[in-house]
Amino acid sequence: MIWHHPVDWDNEQVSLAKREPRHGRRLTLAATVHCPNSTPIMIYSVHLEVFCGMLSRIAQFADVMLDAKQHVEKGMYHQAILGDLNTMAHGIARLSPNYCCDAMRFWSIGQTEAYFWHHKVFSVTDPRHVPERDGEILGTEAASVSNSKLAAWGVPADVCTDITNPGFADPFHPVDTITLDNPSFRFFGISLMKGKLDWLLLRRLTVRDTSVGNHDYSASDHKWLCADVTLA
């Protein structure tokens, strides 16, 4: 893995590190879950950096997609990527150089970050790794598959190659599903910062039911997402 780190929290000269001292970096946890009478499932627990621009989050997530594709090649076909992708580079966050510190803060005006990810990230599939081809021996065809939609926005070539989607889909709508709309971020009833920050990306898992909870934000500043699935 390349391990893209948008913020160097170990560098005391970084203004954010001074203001929010912490040790370590954002990482993704991965585990193989062995279910009774079924094949194993690869589960990723993701929490992307919030103090960076959209393009840095995309670079971080490219590492996860690359790892997922490598596990598909090893026969790990059932996978889930779960967590807070912090897709919040829109609304009032555009005015903050801490939350939005790249050109996308203005280039993406008119759409939420979650909408951008849905149409520019997850919509670009890798034909070598889609579920329909699971179990096939990968050849050299389409060896240079890349996300041309992101390349047009200046995303580095290695990131565009790594982040092609091997068949993940989220059962929750990228615009209508709001997981952050904390009352603390409202002004006279107007939501200043809200959006879909949390994702359930499922590969070869059939969704039977979905639910959203914590609507009053009493347990957390995010709502939770839940999906009842079976192996496809």
Bigger pLDDT: 26 vs 225: 225
Sign of the C-alpha dihedral computed for residues 98, 222, 225 and 70 taken in this order: positive
The answer, yes or no, to whether residue 98 has pLDDT greater than 80, is: yes
The residue ranges of every structural domain in the chain are 15-203
Residue 205 has a pLDDT of 97
Q: Residue 151's beta-bridge partner residues?
A: none
Give every CB contact of residue 84 below 8 A, 6+ residues apart in sequence.
Answer: 46, 47, 48, 197, 198, 222
pLDDT band at residue 14, thresholds of 50, 70 and 90? Answer: confident
Output the pTM of the full model. 0.91
Residue ranges in 8-53 assigned as alpha helix (H): 15-19
pLDDT tens-digit series, residues 153-172: 989 999 999 999 999 999 99
